Structure 1
Amino acid sequence: MKYQTKPTTMPGTYSKIYIQIIFAVKGRTNQISTNWQHELYSYIAGIVKNKGHKPIIVNGAKDHIHIFVGLNPSRALSDLVRDIKNNSSNFINSKGFLPGKFAWQEGYGAFSYSESQIEHVYQYILNQDKHHKTKTFKEEYIGFLSKFQVDYDERYLFEWLE
């Protein structure tokens, strides 16, 4: 007698969630140096991947960072940002890149994009040096909040490094 198995259909979760995360360095003396920024960005991409998300690009300027990810919907964005900040701060401090203790400021921005915007966002993040020749981080960040129509109180934004 031959047994025939009935195919089982199991529901799956399918998604494409693209998020740009932005946060700033705490304190004027703790700046991301061009001497070690590539190592930091690679390390952060590794954190993103190890947490089950897809790193698309990590880049920034001396006082802030942009992380573009394909978000795994089964994991919280806030947990990812917490882990990136904690682990990357420990990485910078253990490497002795700076005299004194490195830390990220509290808070972050997170902005969502569609599939058709990936290349544009990638290029924007890739060209941070070019953007910050004409625009401060404060101008950039408030521009994102305005573009995405996020209500905010300037008293509770970052400590600005200008």
Structure 2
Amino acid sequence: MTRYWIGVAAARHVRIAVENSFAMFAHGRHSAALRTRPGDWVAYYSPREGMNEGAEVRAFTAIGRILPGEPHEQLMTAAGDTGWQRNAEWLPARKADIYPLLDRFSFVRDRGHWGMYFRKSLFPVEPVDFALIAEAMGVADAFGRAGTQED
């Protein structure tokens, strides 16, 4: 069964993941990588350009699908830190501002405190919520075609 996820990561980190065809969550925690499965869809939300620094982004910055295979450990920084990641295929999508979507998401029950929903590094969402993100990112057609295929 296909599941739909929102991952939260700095835009700079998302670009690295997209360029290298992988997905990583919760600073590379193995347990987070294990939550996703091949065929699952992921959209990254980026609050800022860097981790707790840089310009505000507050947008969805990537959308794609987890590829077959198990999570694997990978070097993350020059300092020798490693993290767990999954291979992913990212759609060519545009950045989508979160604000126009907030009143449409089924999981945001209090717009005044919408940020609390995005404090987790990875959380599941309903297909209808994910479809809103895909539409806002300009990939609704590609997502719809792929989303109808069961693995």
TM-score by length of 1: 0.31
The higher radius of gyration belongs to 1
- The answer to which structure has the higher helix fraction is 1
- The answer to which structure has the higher strand fraction is 2
